[in-house]
Amino acid sequence: MSRVAVVIDGLLVQAEPDWTVLEAARSAGVEIPTLCHHERTGTEGICRLCMVEVAGRMEPACATRVRPGMVVNTRGAAVEQLRRTVLELVALETNVEYDDELSGWMEEYGADPTRWGEPLAGRRQRKPLADNPFFVREYDKCYNCRRCLDACGEGIQGVWALAFTGRGAEAGVTTTFDLELAEAGCIFCGNCVEVCPTGALVPLEELRAAKGGPS
């Protein structure tokens, strides 16, 4: 199939017809920050961090297919303002200080969560869940990107041990009926840990090594 010509930040890009704007941008070396997108999961359009401007409208780069003649701007005042706000809201709801990449974006976009008031309780106060011999779930560091849910269910493993519950700052990942992972059907494949972008799912081996104990 013939390629699709699009212009991204002034660069002419010949994209494959099934590419997203994100894929086209990356093929041209244009970086767009992402949270929910992962090449092994079907998560897209959730976090809104990858928004770009297309003909005066904001569209999520990870969930928008290339169209012939498309002109995309990945920077500019409106895009940057939107990304700044998304980052601020993430930081209000989540303990982000452990995430160097996100902290770097916050600096780059001048994000200041304090302009919205005090950090929200809810997810930030969730206690670590150590209910299995393989990994700990530290949901106070979770961005609700849902990569783990997709990896566990439809996207990779087909187990559906994880579930999403609650609203607003209380919304978050859990298991069906809040069961312990094994009871919820987890087979400890590790796919959720592998796709988690934040360190919210931590292999016990890593924790032991960090504390200088036996692995």
| CA gap 91, 89 in Å, rounded | 5
Which one among 142, 155, 177, 209 touches ligand SF4, defined by CB under 6 A? 142
Q: Look at residue 37 and give the partner it binds from ligand FES, ligand SF4, none, a contact being a CB closer than 5 to 8 Å depending on partner kind.
A: ligand FES
* Pair of tokens at residue 208: 């032991």
Q: Does the footprint of ligand SF4 cover residue 192 (CB under 6 A)?
A: yes
Q: Which long-range contacts (CB under 8 A, 24 or more apart) does 68-73 make?
A: 68/4, 68/5, 68/6, 69/5, 69/6, 70/4, 70/6, 70/7, 70/21, 71/6, 71/7, 72/6, 72/7, 72/8, 72/9, 72/21, 72/24, 72/25, 73/9
Beta carbons within 8 Å of 68's beta carbon, 6+ residues apart: 4, 5, 6
Q: Is 157 helix (H, G, I), strand (E, B) or coil?
A: coil
Binding to ligand SF4 (CB under 6 A) within 32-51 occurs at: none
- Which of 8, 21, 35, 162 touches ligand FES by CB under 6 A? 35
Give the pair of three-digit tokens for residue 176: 């069906």
Instruction: Match 């609700």 to its residue by tokens.
Output: 144
Cβ distance to ligand SF4 smaller for residue 13 or 186: 186
Give how many residues touch ligand SF4 by CB under 6 A: 28
Stretch that binds ligand SF4, among 20-28, 77-85, 118-126, 187-195 (CB under 6 A): 187-195
Determine which residue in the list 49, 79, 90, 145 makes contact with ligand SF4, applying CB under 6 A. 145
* 195, 38 Cβ separation under 8 angstroms: yes
Please state whether beta strands 172-175 and 162-165 pair in parallel, antiparallel, or not at all (unpaired): antiparallel
Site string for ligand FES, 57-96 (x = CB under 6 A): ---x-x----------------------------------
Output 54 or 188, the one with its CB closest to ligand SF4: 188
199 counts as binding ligand FES under rule CB under 6 A: no
Residues that bind ligand FES (CB under 6 A): 34-37, 44-50, 60, 62
Footprint on this chain of ligand SF4 (rule: CB under 6 A): 142-148, 151-152, 157, 159, 161-162, 173, 181, 186-192, 195-198, 200-201
